[in-house]
Structure 1
Amino acid sequence: MPLVKGREYRNLLPLAPQTQQKRIDSDYYVEGYATTFNQPYLLYEVDGIKYYEMVDSNAFNGADMSDIILQYDHEGKVFARKSNKTLIAEPNNIGLFICADLSKSAAAKELYEEIDNELVTRMSFSFTVADEEYNRETRTRTIKKFKKIYDVSAVSIPANDGTEISARSYLNGVIEGEKRESLERRRKLLQLMIELEDF
């Protein structure tokens, strides 16, 4: 999957057909959550050290969600979109709720069949971040504000290269900073030990 500069991708939660309490009247209706709030999830692991991420419950306030589309693996055809009312994407008390009508094209109906037959079971979303914070003790990034949500996607593999690459691009600066600080602490400790021996 080609990565668009600055855009991050996350594969998280199930996407599934529903028969009860549909938000859109369709025989090809699916729903799920693109993310949940205030629940840390493993973002990346390097050298045995785990880094986490979570989404603040106010992160979608003010985000550009004007015309989100539903795709497969973040590329190719558009199966549903917010502007023609075949896609709903809205935050609630749990997270970012997604539902879609997959009846508007033959390809969309095929995607519905793959979801219905549990060949495709997960979803992902792509975004840019406006505000975030990092807790060094828990190694957790908290997304405080999204800038824009681009798409939600049914995905073939729950963890794909795009997620890993975008996580790595964010964490490289954090990891390198922690390594530099650790080396500086060691250097100062060695210098102190040498000074004490000379004394």
Structure 2
Amino acid sequence: MAITPETRDYRTFEVRALPQEGGDGQKQCRVEGYAAVFDEETVLYEYDGIQYKEVIDRNAFSGAEMRDVVMNFNHGGKPVARTKNGTLALAVDSKGLRISADLGGTEEGRRLYEEIRGGYLDQMSFAFTINKQEYDRAKRLRRITGFKRIFDVAAVDVPAYGGTSIAARSWAQAEAERESAEAGKRRRLALKLKLNGITEEETSDE
């Protein structure tokens, strides 16, 4: 399957602007935040009162491709920071995946910094694909145990996680629909057996 913006998954986290302090008299435009937090359950989707959740394992970033990650606005447009040139740094610590970016290198970046500093933007999203996951059907909990690639981090005006991403909804919705279909099948079977005067115990004994 081709990797396109539609096949990537997105999660949202908070970002904040650091004070503009520079030893050489120049203003710095640094922002920081966490792209992911470990071991915190998040509701991705709710169907018929049932919640489908996700949690990120603390080893999920081991082996993930993060050699060339960019920062931009709404996952598009010109990059305002990049790991390749050292203006964007990603680090895994005990809390999660921490990002730190210097937005002072471009006009777009400096403008974005001012919008973050002014509180107009305070959310970010990161785009990724996964290659390992576990699913606890009883708890309806997906655990991401391995990210395949991190594509970008982006300041966003409408967080993807607020309503969950398309990819997250499609996974959880498919699981909810599968459970609903199985429950419907069981109900129809029980009704058929009841109409025929057969108990479920009798069918299990056969």
The TM-score, its normalising length taken from structure 2, stands at 0.84
Give, in angstroms, the shift of residue 82 of structure 1: 0.4
The answer for unaligned runs of 5 or more in structure 1 is none
Give, in angstroms, the shift of residue 97 of structure 1: 0.4
Give, in angstroms, the shift of residue 165 of structure 1: 1.4
Give, in angstroms, the shift of residue 103 of structure 1: 0.7
RMSD of the TM alignment (CA)?
2.4
Structure 2 matches for 1:39-118, cutoff 5 A? 39-118=40-119
The aligned counterpart of 1:188 is 189
Would the alpha carbon gap of residues 190 and 34 (structure 1) be closer, same or farther in structure 2, given more than 3 Å must change? same
The aligned counterpart of 2:14 is 14
Greater CA radius of gyration, 1 or 2? 2
Give, in angstroms, the shift of residue 105 of structure 1: 0.7
User: In the TM superposition, what whole-angstrom CA distance separates every residue of 1:85-119 from its partner, at most 9, and x where no partner exists?
Assistant: 00011211101100000110111000000011110
The aligned counterpart of 1:141 is 142
User: In the TM superposition, what whole-angstrom CA distance separates every residue of 1:1-59 from its partner, at most 9, and x where no partner exists?
Assistant: xx624211112x21001249xxxx97111100011001001112233332111111000
Would the alpha carbon gap of residues 67 and 59 (structure 1) be closer, same or farther in structure 2, given more than 3 Å must change? same
Separation in 1 of the partners of 2:39 and 2:161? 23
- Report percent identity of matched pairs: 41
Separation in 2 of the partners of 1:26 and 1:55? 36
Separation in 2 of the partners of 1:6 and 1:159? 14
Separation in 1 of the partners of 2:83 and 2:123? 20
Structure 2 matches for 1:33-44, cutoff 5 A? 33-44=34-45
User: In the TM superposition, what whole-angstrom CA distance separates every residue of 1:50-92 from its partner, at most 9, and x where no partner exists?
Assistant: 2111111000000111111101111111010001000011211
Would the alpha carbon gap of residues 40 and 162 (structure 1) be closer, same or farther in structure 2, given more than 3 Å must change? closer
> What amino acid sits opposite 1:115 in the alignment?
I
Query: What is the total number of aligned residue pairs between the two structures?
Result: 192
The aligned counterpart of 1:128 is 129
The answer for unaligned runs of 5 or more in structure 2 is 21-25
Q: Which runs of 4+ in 1 moved over 6 A?
A: none
Contact 2:133 2:144 in 1 (8 A): yes
